[in-house]
Structures are given as structure tokens and as C-alpha cells.
Chain A
């Protein structure tokens, strides 16, 4: 968690950069056209001294599994266009780290039935997998697992907690 929070400002900044440079968000293409900028000013003072690293490894330390979650509407498994840059970034990272795989965990909020949420969580993971395969990632490098409603990030019964819990979480699996 600590690692995530330290990365968060950088990640948010770069999402912003991707959104601004846009263009690739609507139509998945083999090579994402949005190039992240290297904004050394914004990074100065960060205690991780990330300014020295190449662009792509700024947001994801290989092996660390620090990818952002993507989120879903209630009872849906469509990828939000605002989450596409996250998937594009993971895809690009996978291209540059050829010996690793990513495990996509699909999660649901508590409001569905246990049983159906297990299927829905799998659909959410598969939706991210389909998207990344569509932009050139080899299918066998992306495995899926559904946790249904078994592992909420926030166990409160509020809209805020539910929207946090309806997510795909990405980890580097080997």
C-alpha cells in the first residue's frame, strides 16, 4: 500500500498526460499513440528520484505489481474509456518485459448474488484481457481469476465502497 501511495502522484500525473494526448482512447490500436511526457519538474523532489528512469518504468516497477485498478458500473463489465489508458500502459509494459505475465483479478461489490458475482467478476477480468489482446498482447500472457464479492477493498455498504470494489486488479504473476 505504501508503495502505491508513493507512486500515486506520478501515476495520476501521467494519466492526465495520456488523457490530454488522447486519441487512442476510443479505438484500440497495436501501438498506443499517446506518448507519456517526461515532466521532470513535476517529479523533482520525489523521494524515489524517479526522474532518472526511462519513461515506461516510471509508473510500474517491474515485478512490483503496481498497476492501477480499473472500475466498472454496477452489474456491468464494459471497460470505461477513461480506464483504457491504464490497460494500454500495462500492455506496453508487457511488451517491454517479455518474461512476465499479468494476472487479472475481477472483483464485484456485495450487491449481486454470490453465485452470479463469481461469473461477473470473471467477465470483468476477461473484458480487460480482451482489450489488451486487441492491442497486441499475447493472450497466454494474461490470466484471469474471479474473486466475485469475496475480497472487497472496502467492506462498507456505501456507494463509495461499492464503486471501489467493482474493479479489476492487476498483478505480475511471474
Chain B
């Protein structure tokens, strides 16, 4: 059975090991560097010492620098000639010249030693608080040489965690749909657009991918015979299990934060309604009633509520209800076409697609105040926003010149970064948890 062929490699990519930790400590927020809103911590990233085998230390630095910038919390000292000269001086003298690094404008310094031995790549990182003149943490990362990106991403997330207390996004993945083979299939990529992997090969027009909470499995909808079915594919093994095959819609699966339940749209009772099911697709319980279209449900991060789309007012708008059904509350009042809600992992905002002057844009609505903020501008329809695990970044698709690609932005600076290019459309992004 072709659909069950294991996808090799992904499990390995996720399996970069964290071996040593000196000074050993549970991640603890480093509080000596405090910044105001929007201010960035400046990091100096000298070239890693040693050899990374087939990977270049320049590429490793570049990935780490991008990760730190992309986190939203950091800027990177740009004058690399001075940075590398200062690093060479440090190496020669066998010390860290804190004053010189400070003079370059750095507040944090990341040094790395990298070595490849056989099928093992080792990256040892030292992270310093330059103002305090002391180490913040040191860690060793070991993995396969081909997985060097995963090692660097882990280091970036550790830096974010230590300095901000927030979860980084460098190790996160984005699932999406591409039609590059001629049929819509599910793919995943690293959060920065690298490392694209095809996950499904069933040729059955895959749609609406959504991660389960442990990031092992992606639910999606596909066509089979004269019907739709909702299925779940394990991204490591490629094994597909069926969730629902009811008459009509079997769409928009959203897995609960605990992973033991789903909400989705079914039309088996004659109208598109929202149902809550066990995570294997069994025991559907209907949550909405009425003649209007109820669609696109997604869980709140605490699992207590569900956001969804309804056209009960005559046009699609975003609503929220209790995850047990009832207590329905309208969230959006601006415009006449608001769809595709995605609830921030921080719980405060729901991102969605809004039609603004004839163009689809990504907006957020504050769950408490119903205040709307528009995140995107310009031409090209933007659709299907999905939150990063940090509750700060959003990925979405942009259609321009009859082709769709994925972009991400930081909701605090609103500068879009393009993630995909090349042939085919890239749509329906879903950021992992």
C-alpha cells in the first residue's frame, strides 16, 4: 500500500540529542538583560570554530543569526569582519574579551565549537552575558551531520528560552498543501522554509492539514470515491489512519490541546455543523444547531472554547462558543466576510482572514475586547493564518500572479518574510505546536 510507506528521515531530523549541559541547570530566565517593548537584544555571533564536515560553519552562523532575528527578540551584530577578528583574538589569548565585545555593540555573545566524527556532529555552544561578564549557559548538541540545521535551531531556541522565558520557534515545522506534483499533497518544512518533505503520496487531493498536539501526526481531508474522508498521517512513519467518512463534509479537523479530542465540520445531519469527537474520529457529538453554515472550528489553547465561522448573520463571521456547545458569542463585526480562525497559543487573539476592500487580509481580533488589528496590507489575497507556538508569529498564504506562496510575519513588526518559492501553489499552512 503506497500510502503507508514510511517517510524516512523526519524522525531523525527531530531527534537531535541534547547531551551535556554545563553549567547544568533547568532552563531559567536570564533577567539581567531587560528590554522595553520592541527593543531587541543585540547578539554577536562569531564564526563557529572547527569543521562541520559537509555543512559550512558559515551556513551554521547564518542559520543561527536568522533564527535569532526571526524570533523577534534579537538583532545581530552586523560587522562580521570585526566580530571574527575579535573572536580570533579571543582564541589566541584563550579568554573572552568582554570589553571588546561590548565595544562592538553586543549584549550577548554566542560562541560555538563544531566537530564531525564519523556519523556524529557535535556542536558545543557557550552563551555569555557581556554586560555581566559571565556565562549564561553552555550546551553540547549531538546529531547526524546532515541534521546540522536541527542542532543550530535547538541552540537558537535555548537562547530564546534562557533570555526571554518564551518558547522559541526555530525547531517548529509548518505543514502545508502543494500541488507541485499535479495533485494536492501534504508537505512539511522547517519554520524558515528549509527542509521541505513530502508527507503524503496518495494522489487524493489533500486539504486542510492540522497538527495533533504532540506534532507526530497531521490530520487532513481528502477525496475518496464520491466522498470526502478525514484522515491522520503520522509524519514519521507515513502511516495513515481514517478518522471520519461520513456523507458530505469531513473537513477542518482541529485537535484539542490535550490531543484526545477533535472538533471538525460534518454535514451528515443535513447541514454543515460543528462536532466534537474522540481523537480516533469516533463518538461524534454535535455542538451547533440551526440552518446556517457552521464551519472551520479551532480550539482555544485551554481547550475550553472553540472558535468557528458562521453565516447566521447573513455573511461569514467569527464566533466563539464553549467546547461543550452553547455560550456562542460573535467576535467580528467589521466587514462582510471573515473566515479561517486560528486561536493564538497565548489565548488572547484569534487570527483570521478578512475581506477588506475586495482583498483578503490577515487580521486579529482580541477575544476579550473584540478589537481588530489588521496584520497585512497590499494586493494579493492572504488566506489561512496559523499561529506559531510563540503566539507572536503567523504564517499565511498569499496569492499573487496566479500563484500562491507562504509568508510569515511577527505581529509586533508586521514585516512579511517569504517562506516558499518555486513551482506550484503552497497553501493551507499549519504551524506545529
Residues of A within 8 A of B (CB): 75, 103, 112-116, 118-120, 122-123, 125-126, 129-130, 139, 143-146, 150, 173
Using Cβ atoms and an 8 Å threshold, which residues of chain A touch B205?
Answer: 150
User: Could you say which of B223, B271, B384 contacts A113, with CB atoms under 8 Å apart?
Assistant: B384
Q: Answer whether A144 and B267 are a contact pair too, CB < 8 Å, given A118-B207, A119-B249, A119-B295.
A: yes
Q: Answer whether A115 and B339 are a contact pair too, CB < 8 Å, given A103-B226, A143-B226.
A: yes
Instruction: Say yes or no: A113 contacts B340, CB within 8 Å.
Output: yes
Q: Which of B226, B228, B252 has the most CB of A within 10 A?
A: B226
Using Cβ atoms and an 8 Å threshold, which residues of chain A touch B384?
Answer: 113-115
B143 within 8 A of A: no
Give the residue name and chain of the B residue nearest to A157 (CB). B402
User: Could you say which of B226, B267, B340 contacts A115, with CB atoms under 8 Å apart?
Assistant: B340
Q: Which of B354-383 contact A (CB under 8 A)?
A: 360, 381, 383
Q: Answer whether A114 and B247 are a contact pair too, CB < 8 Å, given A119-B296, A123-B293, A144-B267.
A: no
* Distance (whole angstroms) from the CB of A5 to the closest CB of chain B: 25
The 5 tightest CB contacts between A and B, nearest first, are: A119-B295, A116-B339, A113-B339, A122-B249, A115-B340
Instruction: Say yes or no: A116 contacts B316, CB within 8 Å.
Output: yes
Instruction: Say yes or no: B383 contacts A126, CB within 8 Å.
Output: no
Residues of B within 8 A of A (CB): 205, 207-208, 223, 226-228, 247-249, 251-252, 265, 267, 270-272, 293, 295-296, 309, 315-316, 337, 339-340, 353, 360, 381, 383-384, 427-428
A114-B383, A119-B293, A143-B247 are known; give 6 further A-B pairs, CB within 8 A: A103-B226, A116-B309, A118-B295, A126-B267, A146-B248, A146-B249
Give the residue name and chain of the B residue nearest to A101 (CB). B226
Q: Which of B205, B265, B339, B381 has the most CB of A within 10 A?
A: B339
Using Cβ atoms and an 8 Å threshold, which residues of chain A touch B228?
Answer: 145-146
Instruction: Say yes or no: A112 contacts B337, CB within 8 Å.
Output: yes
* Distance (whole angstroms) from the CB of B87 to the closest CB of chain A: 49
Using Cβ atoms and an 8 Å threshold, which residues of chain A touch B271?
Answer: 123, 126
Per the bound structure, the CA–CA distance linking A116 and B265 in Å amounts to 11
Instruction: Say yes or no: A116 contacts B295, CB within 8 Å.
Output: yes
Instruction: Say yes or no: B340 contacts A116, CB within 8 Å.
Output: yes
Per the bound structure, the CA–CA distance linking A112 and B315 in Å amounts to 12
Per the bound structure, the CA–CA distance linking A119 and B339 in Å amounts to 11
Give the residue name and chain of the A residue nearest to B292 (CB). A123
Inter-chain contact total with CB atoms closer than 8 Å: 83
Interface pairs (22), CB distance under 8 Å: A75-B337, A114-B427, A115-B339, A115-B383, A116-B296, A116-B337, A116-B340, A118-B208, A118-B249, A118-B295, A119-B251, A119-B296, A119-B309, A122-B249, A122-B267, A122-B272, A123-B272, A125-B248, A126-B248, A145-B226, A145-B228, A150-B205
Instruction: Say yes or no: A173 contacts B226, CB within 8 Å.
Output: yes
Per the bound structure, the CA–CA distance linking A150 and B353 in Å amounts to 19
* Distance (whole angstroms) from the CB of A124 to the closest CB of chain B: 11
Instruction: Say yes or no: B295 contacts A126, CB within 8 Å.
Output: no
Per the bound structure, the CA–CA distance linking A9 and B307 in Å amounts to 49
Using Cβ atoms and an 8 Å threshold, which residues of chain A touch B316?
Answer: 116
Using Cβ atoms and an 8 Å threshold, which residues of chain B touch A118?
Answer: 207-208, 249, 251-252, 295
Per the bound structure, the CA–CA distance linking A144 and B309 in Å amounts to 21
Instruction: Say yes or no: B270 contacts A115, CB within 8 Å.
Output: no
Instruction: Say yes or no: A143 contacts B227, CB within 8 Å.
Output: yes
Instruction: Say yes or no: B249 contacts A115, CB within 8 Å.
Output: no
Using Cβ atoms and an 8 Å threshold, which residues of chain B touch A114?
Answer: 207, 383-384, 427-428
Instruction: Say yes or no: A75 contacts B315, CB within 8 Å.
Output: yes
Per the bound structure, the CA–CA distance linking A75 and B309 in Å amounts to 14
Per the bound structure, the CA–CA distance linking A126 and B273 in Å amounts to 13
Per the bound structure, the CA–CA distance linking A112 and B340 in Å amounts to 11
Per the bound structure, the CA–CA distance linking A122 and B208 in Å amounts to 16
* Distance (whole angstroms) from the CB of B230 to the closest CB of chain A: 12
Using Cβ atoms and an 8 Å threshold, which residues of chain A touch B270?
Answer: 126, 129-130, 139
Per the bound structure, the CA–CA distance linking A120 and B316 in Å amounts to 10
* Distance (whole angstroms) from the CB of B138 to the closest CB of chain A: 46
Give the residue name and chain of the A residue nearest to B383 (CB). A113
User: Could you say which of B207, B223, B272, B337 contacts A119, with CB atoms under 8 Å apart?
Assistant: B272
* Distance (whole angstroms) from the CB of B150 to the closest CB of chain A: 31
Per the bound structure, the CA–CA distance linking A143 and B337 in Å amounts to 28
Instruction: Say yes or no: A145 contacts B293, CB within 8 Å.
Output: no
* Distance (whole angstroms) from the CB of A138 to the closest CB of chain B: 14
Using Cβ atoms and an 8 Å threshold, which residues of chain B touch A143?
Answer: 226-227, 247-248
Using Cβ atoms and an 8 Å threshold, which residues of chain B touch A129?
Answer: 270
Per the bound structure, the CA–CA distance linking A112 and B316 in Å amounts to 10
Give the residue name and chain of the A residue nearest to B184 (CB). A150
* Distance (whole angstroms) from the CB of B429 to the closest CB of chain A: 12
Using Cβ atoms and an 8 Å threshold, which residues of chain B touch A146?
Answer: 228, 248-249
Using Cβ atoms and an 8 Å threshold, which residues of chain B touch A145?
Answer: 223, 226-228, 248
Per the bound structure, the CA–CA distance linking A75 and B339 in Å amounts to 13
Q: Which of A103, A145, A146 has the most CB of B within 10 A?
A: A145
